[in-house]
Amino acid sequence: MHQNQLATIDYIVFFVYFLIVASYGIWIYRRKSGHDGTLEGDSKDYFLAEGSLTWWAIGSSLIASNISAEQFVGMSGSGFKMGLAIATYEWMAAITLVIVATFFIPVYLKNHIFTMPQFLSQRYNSTVAMIMAIFWLALYVVVNLTSILYLGAIAISSIAGLNLNFCMYALAAFAVIITLGGMKVIGFTDVIQVFFLILGGLATTYLALNLVATHYGTSGVVNGFNLMTQHAGDHFQMIFKRDNPNYIDLPGLTVLLGGMWIVNLNYWGCNQYITQRALGADLPTARAGILFAAFLKLLMPVIVVLPGIAAFVLYKSNVFSGEMMQNGELNPDRAYPVLLNILPVGLKGLSFAALTAAVVASLAGKANSIATIFTLDIYKKVINPEASEKTLVATGKIAVVVAMILGVLIAPHLGIDKKGGFQYIQEYTGFVSPGIFAMFILGFFWKKTTSTAALFATIGGFLLSVMFKFLPTYADLSFLAPFGFSVKNAAGVYEIPFLDRMGFVFIICIVMMIIISLFETGRGVKTNGLEVDRSMFKPQPSFTIGVAAIVVILTTLYTIYW
């Protein structure tokens, strides 16, 4: 029905975007080089853009790093399958960002913490830090970098009709070019990437809603939205009841009161890839940037979820019946690429640029974090403690290239497309996030937490997650069903929903960490408490007003779409 290729005008629009980003990146890099008289700068400037990112650059960079193919493709697919409820990942992130800006960032900045392993080394010991540094590197390369590369390549290849491997190599090369300029280049080019991402994303949503309206004999976005709520009313519920087939993915009130907090607080507060954007700034700038990102998160479901619901309504009306099928089966992840293929010439190029911007910005941010952890926490501490600033920057650049080559080589062999991209990332990071978050939260705010307790959370948390995952194989969990803690999966076996499992593991980790720490400190074990005082957490009036606005908007949204 629709061509899987771009017209000449689309390519022109795309290359204009490419030239703007590349030229701006080179200008920022040269301006920085001229400023300090060298081409290298120091390692903190390269990895963190220390003191030079503005609040709007920090906020844009946070969103650009976070939004990628797994949102555009995976979350639109989830919107097609389960509706607006998947937006909880975005909307709960907005309130999480506020918590991170208020309580986490002041602790990092006050204690001069630039990487997550450095925090663990300072607060616990070098063993905990080194275990986690190696672990994070493996997770970032094998799970995050590969899935962003592969999903991005699938989406771009299905829109442009280009070879999948070529798309993957081109994305990797584009990302490497941006990443080699350092955090300052990433931060400021991310502002342009986010502009394209939002503009192209909103254009796609506008056309998708308009298409629904046209199909039913009217016109306009408002009519399209109203028709969607009429023809897919079950797709506009934020909180699922237990009889909903998607309850296992988003178990009822857990999204407001349970495991969703661990997903978000760990992702936004204890994650090098994300916090790195704010760690080079002063507190007011960092907080303003994170608040800006929180407002952008409120907008994201409009860009990534509504098109999926529109595709569902059109599929039900037999408009997309053929395009949504893959190998004889319905594949919800095709929703966004199918919508992009019906865009008019020119706009398709803009949306293509938006998707590419999202993928490249995420890849660049991830590669920079890999380089930062490898260079500052492994190379400088173990391999070459006497390394000069110039050597550290050069090592970081080599690490970027090596990580990207590994990503390209590994990605095709992981079966990412079979699992569903969004679920792939959530599942594999979810095995470790409860333990990591427990270790961070007690490390911040309870001075008695010991290194042994932290090690228990790291290793024990992972083992507990694996145990809960495979528990249904060995035990009948139907007795938990009346309490809402187990539900039948597609195979008819009772299992604990993923988000609830994370909640249980987190609670066990916290309790065990407290017991171990009290036992050890009772026997005279000394701990390294961080510098924390109440005045650090006092917000500026403008920040408080922004937070109040976010709370009001979220309360309204959840009240309307409960």
Q: What DSSP designation does 303 have?
A: H
What is the share, in percent, of the chain residues with pLDDT greater than 70?
89
Beta-strand relationship, 494-495 and 487-488: antiparallel
Residue 482 has pLDDT above 70, yes or no: yes
Residue 511 has pLDDT above 90, yes or no: yes
Q: What are phi and psi of 51, to 5 degrees?
A: 75, 5
The pLDDT, as a whole number, for residue 183 is: 65
Confidence at 510, pLDDT banded by 50, 70, 90: very high
The pLDDT, as a whole number, for residue 552 is: 93
CATH number, domain containing residue 129: 1.20.1730.10
For residue 472, being part of any structural domain is answered with: no
* Between residues 36 and 83, the one the model is more confident about: 83
| Count of structural domains, the chain | 1
Report the alpha-carbon distance of residue 425 to residue 211 in Å, rounded.
32
Question: 486 in helix, strand or coil?
Answer: coil
For residue 85, being part of any structural domain is answered with: yes
For residue 561, being part of any structural domain is answered with: no
For residue 535, being part of any structural domain is answered with: no
For residue 520, being part of any structural domain is answered with: no
Residue 66 has pLDDT above 70, yes or no: yes
pLDDT tens column, 495-509:
788 888 888 899 999
Q: Encoding tokens for residue 282?
A: 């002063």
pLDDT tens column, 187-238:
677 777 778 778 878 888 888 898 888 888 888 888 888 888 888 888 888 8
Whole-prediction pTM: 0.80
Most confident range, picked from 57-71, 101-115, 171-185, 267-281: 101-115
The pLDDT, as a whole number, for residue 94 is: 92
Residue 51 has pLDDT above 60, yes or no: no
The pLDDT, as a whole number, for residue 117 is: 81
pLDDT tens column, 391-428:
888 888 888 888 888 888 887 776 665 555 566 677 77
- The whole domain housing 399 covers 53-417
DSSP characters for 224-273? HHHHHHHHTGGGG-SS--TTSTTTTTS-TTHHHHSHHHHHHHHHHHS-HH
What is the share, in percent, of the chain residues with pLDDT greater than 90?
7
Neighbour-count burial of 277, counting CB atoms closer than 10 A to its CB (0-12 exposed, 13-18 middle, 19+ buried): buried
For residue 137, being part of any structural domain is answered with: yes
The pLDDT, as a whole number, for residue 438 is: 92
The pLDDT, as a whole number, for residue 421 is: 57
For residue 162, being part of any structural domain is answered with: yes
* Between residues 171 and 321, the one the model is more confident about: 171
Of 3-17, 36-50, 77-91, least confident by mean pLDDT is 36-50
For residue 374, being part of any structural domain is answered with: yes
The answer to whether 189 and 196 are in contact (CB under 8 A) is: no
Report the alpha-carbon distance of residue 175 to residue 361 in Å, rounded.
7
N- to C-terminal Cα distance for the chain?
37
Residue 124 has pLDDT above 70, yes or no: yes
